[in-house]
Every structure is written in C-alpha cells, then in structure tokens.
A and B are shown apart, each in its own frame.
Chain A
Amino acid sequence: MKPLNYAILKHFTKVKEACADDVIEALKGEYGHFKALKKPAVIEAIMTGEANGLLEETRYELDEKGELKVYYRAHEEGAATINKYIPN
C-alpha cells in the first residue's frame, strides 16, 4: 500500500485525465478509511502537483449540481517524474 498522496499522483499516470471526484472514487476502495481522502485535501494535493510541474490542467466544467470540476493529466515529463520517484 502506498501513502495516500502518492496514490493520488500515481492515479494520473494510469488514466487520460481525471478530476478530484474521479480520484476519490478510484481510491475509495483502498483508502476509504483515510481521514485525508476528502475533496478539499485531494484538490490541494492535485493543485500542488500542478504548481510543481507534475500535472497539467486539461479542461474544466460545471457539473449538474453547478459544482466546478477541473480535470488534470500527467504530461509525459510529469508522468516520468512521478514514475521515477513512485514505482508501482
């Protein structure tokens, strides 16, 4: 089992793009009991990854409830860095 923050970043190397809700949904099985698996904390982890060039924003939209969903992806260089530091 990886630390939660690693699992969040690693998720982006496995999918084309994802938003915070997608990450939470994907990790719920293994990390559901973690207090830190909450939307604000996950958004902050993703945006910190973006600020450090690991992830990049792809698009954003409002969902049916009017909540903002921002999608990110790990570009080639970002994915390489994530995979270098966090192996499978």
Chain B
Amino acid sequence: MNNTLSSANATAVAEKKKLSSNFFKKGVTVAILSGMFYGLYSAFLTLGMANGVWADWYGVNNAALSAFVITYMLGALGSALNDTISALWCIGIAAFKGKLGDFFRTLKTKPGRVMVFAALLGGPIASTAYVVALQMAGSIVIPITALCPAIGAIMARILFKQKLTPRMLLGIAICFTAALMIGSTSMSADAPPNLLLGICIAFICAFCWGLEGCIAGYGTSMIDYEIGITIRQSTSGLSNLIILVPIMAMLAGNIGLAPSLVVQAVTSGPAIIWFVVSGFFAVFAYSLWYKGNSMCGAALGMACNGAYSFWGPFFCWLVLGVFVGMEGWTLPPIAWAAAIVMAFGILTIATNPLDLFRRKGA
C-alpha cells in the first residue's frame, strides 16, 4: 500500500516538474519567436516601402514631396498602414477563434484601458521617436533603443515587484553589448548635425517601448494575449492614421497631403501586397512579445525579444538581399558574432550558465 502510494507520489512529482518545465520552455520559445517575427515584419515593411508609389517618393520623387515629408511623414505613414492592416488581421483571427465578443468586453474594462495606454506609448509615441531619431542621428540609435529590455525589466521590478537578480542584470548587459556590436556596423563616420538630440529622442523611444513591454506583459496576465494584440494594433494603427499622419501633414504646411498620400499608398498594388504580409507578421511580433513577457517575466521575455536587433538585419538580408536580390543587405560577420553573444546573454538571464557545466548531482 505504502509502495503504491509513494510510486503515485513520485509520478505526481515528475508530472508536476514536466508541467512547470514545459510552461517555462514555451514562454522562452514564444519570446524568441516574437523577435524573429519582428525581424520578418521589418523586412517585409522595408520591402513594401521600396515598391510601387514608395519607390517614386524615396527615389525620383515625381510627386515633388518636401524633404520634411520624405524624412518624417512617410515613416509615420508606413507605420500607420502596417499597424492598421495588422489590426484587420488581428480582428479576423479573433473572430475566427470566437474571441471578438471578449475584445469589445475587454475594451470597456480597466486592464483594457491600460492596454490602450500601453499601445499609445509603444505605437505612435515610441515608433515615431524611433523614426525621427533614425533620421536625426542615423543608425547609432538602434542599440540605444535596444536598451528597452533593461528599462522594461527595471520598470517591472518597480511597478510589479518582479524579481531582478544581479545575474539577470549581467545578462541584460550582455544582450545590450550584442545589440551595440550590431549597431556599430552601420555607424557612419560623418556625424549628423542633430546627433545629440537624436540620441535623446532614441532614449524616449527605448523608455516607451520598455514601459509598453512591462505594462502590456503584465496586462496579458489578465487579458488573453490575442485580445491584447487586437487592442494594441487597433489603437496604434488608428491613432497613427487619424492623428499622427495629419499632424505631420499640418507641420508640412498642407493638411490635404494626409488623405492624398494615404489613398496613393493604399492603392499602390506592388507595395500594399507587402504591407499585407508585414501586417500579418506584426500580429505575431507583438502578440508573442506580450505573451512571452507575461509567461516568463519582463526581464527574460524582453531579452529574448531583444534578439530582434539580430533578426531584423538577418531577415532583411534574407528577404531583400537573397530573395529579392537588392544590393547592400549582406550581413557583416560581426552581426553573426553578436547573435552568439546575445544567445549567451539570454541564457544568463534565464539560468545560471555555470549549471550547464556542472554534472547532475555533483
């Protein structure tokens, strides 16, 4: 009798361990996949913004757009279109899974409103800051924005009392170093005139993304992540399209430019097809980011997602360089080395790497 009982207990212990370990592995997988989808959506968004009417705007410029419009407004328009199309995908997926009712019910609740706030931080505010910083200071800002995992983890420690050990901080520092290695490959010698201001704006972007990741990650501990992403993309897409793009047009001195450019972009067949693809991948980039953060905590979730600073250039090389045959998209060797450093950083946050070298039971 006692033997039967202890063997049942042993089975229960083993099953419980399996359940916990599967949950952890799924969380890490989801968070890593989010970074890969981020890379894929960036690549297809870049492809969309290089085709059809965009090729003219950024190239010959028959439309005679001003430098301001080309630098700032087109970035906001690309982001607005991507997020709006992504929101349509989200609504379709939610409807297919029978979650559309819960989407509207969640919107009316406190966590739903918090999610809208997180989406505004990460959508129009951070994304625009990212585009503006890139234009002002060049790609030196990319590793600065990659600070967002560290900011997210620290905010999660303050706001939600998630644990943050010295080992996790070391892992975040290793990930940041890897992002810096990737960023260093594209730093040009000629310093842009607005370097300092651009870097300051990049910090705003990192702060907003960090805060979005930790607030939305916590939000998805209560809200279904597929509903969370539907709220995120609808808020971000619509606020970009209805508020941000017209503001940019007003600053450019011609409010009529907003509807005119939107219509031209939407009706440009060779471009919009790639926006449909990028919008689809964006669904998973953000929903898995939220889900990963809620499953394994903001520090680990955001570090795994932060590998997007490798996946971005990687998929741009694969899609634009290898697949489409555009020049200038090869991946420098330092990026491959950085990917290994980043994997080691993520491992450091998730577990003590020294444990891997110790023998079991030693």
Contact = CB atoms under 8 A, between A and B. Distances in A.
A1 B106 CA distance: 10
A2 B101 CA distance: 10
Contact residues of A: prevailing secondary structure = mixed
B16 interface: yes
A4 B221 contact: no
Contacts of A4: 102, 224
B102 A3 contact: yes
A34 B224 CA distance: 13
Given A36-B98, A62-B15, A85-B110, A5 B223 contact: yes
B136 to A, nearest CB: 37
Interface stretch (B49-57, B258-266, B291-299, B324-332): B291-299
Given A3-B102, A3-B105, A51 B221 contact: yes
B218 interface: yes
A4 B220 CA distance: 13
Contacts of A6: 106, 109, 111, 222
A2 B23 CA distance: 26
A44 B200 CA distance: 40
A74 B105 CA distance: 23
Nearest to B102: A3
Interface string B281-307: 000000000000011110000000000
Contacts of A60: 12, 15-16
Contact of B295 (A9, A34, A48): A48
A53 interface: yes
Given A54-B221, A86-B111, A2 B105 contact: yes
B97 interface: yes
B359 interface: no
Interface residues of A, number: 29
Count chain A CB atoms within 10 A of each CB in B27, B98, B222 and give the residue with the most: B222
A68 interface: yes
A88 interface: no
A6 B27 CA distance: 21
A9 B102 CA distance: 15
A66 interface: yes
Interface string B131-170: 0000000000000000000000000000011100000000
Given A36-B97, A48-B295, 13 more contacts: A3-B102, A3-B224, A3-B227, A6-B109, A35-B98, A35-B99, A43-B19, A47-B295, A51-B295, A51-B297, A62-B11, A85-B110, A86-B110
Interface of A: 1-6, 9, 34-36, 43-45, 47-49, 51-54, 60-62, 66, 68, 70, 82, 85-86
18 contacts: A1-B105, A2-B105, A2-B109, A3-B105, A3-B106, A3-B109, A4-B102, A35-B97, A35-B98, A43-B19, A48-B295, A49-B221, A49-B222, A51-B27, A53-B161, A60-B16, A70-B19, A85-B109
9 cross-chain pairs, A with B, having the tightest CB-CB distances, nearest first:
A52-B221, A68-B15, A3-B102, A35-B98, A3-B106, A5-B224, A62-B12, A3-B105, A47-B23
